[in-house]
């Protein structure tokens, strides 16, 4: 995806930190070392403390089906910065299946975020849904600033109860550039960028988990070279940390510069150590379509009996 910085009214331009764009529009930064050979035992964060993760549903859970119709409000938040974002076009997919061609057909609902970044959608309470925020100019904090926002696709979100509220992750180009600079990663324009949250059976974020990504040929290796695919993690502040080697209390993971296979499908595996001194095991596996010029957000819980296979290797 393109990495030309734009002013979003508050997020710093990465060129101020000594980051130099390459001629092809991508960015080349320092190398990192990747995760170490062992990790602490996977835990969950209950909002206050780290507690033992509940993985009792691993292998037996199924995708949530919902409990009834829900009309709810979703607010576009300026992820990694501050404020809400108006005037962004959002496509809502109550079946959790974004269209491959970018259109809004069938059960899709297309809405433009209004004052305070709000939009109203109709779904199924407790069921998964997906949304796509189209790339475009947005007004931050009711027009206090303008920003160029990249396309975001978010899959496996849980719809709130009727009358409830939730948020949408809007990411400005300036924020994306800053994150890439902080991580010292290179993001090729033709490769994918995947991120999301990992959860236990109680829906609590996983701590000390790692991500692996797979295509139809098997695992895509992470490396330390400038053009390699790399994993990254956050620290509970919506800002990725170059030194982080596993998920923190927010459960957020990421993989940058992911080659997009011919069928467009990437499988994401969440791994972790379940006992002291043990080897990492597969905790959860989900698949998602990945597109150029798009941030793909995929939530991953414990492995499902009706879920994809192929997250081992």
Q: Say which CATH number the domain at 118 has.
A: 2.60.40.1120
User: Is 153 domain-assigned?
Assistant: yes
130 and 204 fall within a common domain: no
57 and 112 fall within a common domain: no
pLDDT of residue 38: 63
pLDDT of residue 313: 59
pLDDT of residue 117: 96
- Which residues constitute the domain of residue 151? 69-174
Count of domains in the chain? 2
Q: Among the three residues 120, 142, 174, which one is the final residue of a domain in this structure?
A: 174
Q: Among the three residues 130, 145, 174, which one is the final residue of a domain in this structure?
A: 174
pLDDT of residue 140: 93
pLDDT of residue 37: 53
User: Is 98 domain-assigned?
Assistant: yes
User: Is 114 domain-assigned?
Assistant: yes
**Which residue positions in the chain have pLDDT lower than 70?**
1-38, 313
DSSP 8-state symbol, 116: G
> What percent of the chain shows pLDDT beyond 90?
77
Q: Among the three residues 126, 146, 174, which one is the final residue of a domain in this structure?
A: 174
Query: Do residues 142 and 52 touch, judged by C-beta distance below 8 A?
Result: no
52 and 78 fall within a common domain: no
168 and 200 fall within a common domain: no
The encoded tokens of residue 109 equal 């609902």
pLDDT of residue 135: 98
User: Is 121 domain-assigned?
Assistant: yes
Q: How far apart are CA 111 and CA 81, in angstroms?
A: 23
pLDDT of residue 26: 45
User: Is 225 domain-assigned?
Assistant: yes
User: Is 207 domain-assigned?
Assistant: yes
105 and 253 fall within a common domain: no
Query: Do residues 192 and 258 touch, judged by C-beta distance below 8 A?
Result: yes
Residue among 275, 271, 273, 294 at smallest CA distance from 283: 271
Query: Do residues 27 and 257 touch, judged by C-beta distance below 8 A?
Result: no
The SS3 call for residue 177 is helix
The structure's pTM equals 0.87
């Amino acid at each position: 995806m393109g990495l030309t910085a734009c002013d979003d009214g508050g997020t710093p331009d990465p060129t101020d930190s000594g980051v130099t764009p390459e001629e092809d529009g991508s960015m080349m930064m320092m190398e990192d070392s990747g995760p170490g050979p062992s990790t602490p035992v996977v835990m969950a964060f209950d909002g206050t403390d780290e507690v033992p993760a509940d993985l009792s549903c691993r292998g037996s859970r199924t995708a949530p089906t919902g409990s009834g119709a829900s009309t709810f409000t979703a607010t576009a938040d300026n992820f990694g910065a501050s404020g809400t974002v108006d005037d962004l076009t959002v496509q809502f997919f109550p079946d959790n299946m974004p269209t491959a061609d970018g259109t809004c057909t069938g059960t899709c609902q297309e809405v433009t975020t209004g004052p305070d970044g709000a939009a109203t959608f109709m779904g199924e309470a407790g069921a998964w849904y997906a949304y796509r925020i189209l790339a475009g100019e947005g007004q931050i904090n009711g027009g206090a600033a303008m920003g160029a926002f990249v396309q975001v696709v978010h899959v496996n979100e849980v719809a709130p109860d009727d009358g409830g509220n939730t948020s949408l992750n809007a990411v400005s180009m300036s924020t994306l550039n800053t994150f890439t600079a902080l991580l010292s990663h290179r993001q090729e324009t033709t490769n994918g960028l995947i991120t999301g949250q990992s959860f236990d059976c109680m829906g609590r974020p996983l701590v000390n988990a790692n991500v692996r990504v797979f295509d139809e040929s098997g695992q895509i290796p992470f490396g330390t070279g400038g053009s390699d695919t790399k994993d990254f993690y956050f620290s509970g502040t919506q800002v990725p940390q170059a030194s982080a080697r596993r998920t923190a209390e927010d459960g957020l993971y990421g993989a940058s510069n992911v080659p997009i296979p011919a069928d467009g499908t990437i499988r994401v595996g969440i791994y972790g150590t379940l006992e002291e001194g043990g080897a990492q095991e597969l905790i959860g596996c989900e698949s998602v379509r990945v597109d150029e010029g798009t941030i793909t957000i995929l939530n991953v819980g414990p492995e499902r009996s009706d879920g994809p296979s192929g997250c081992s290797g």
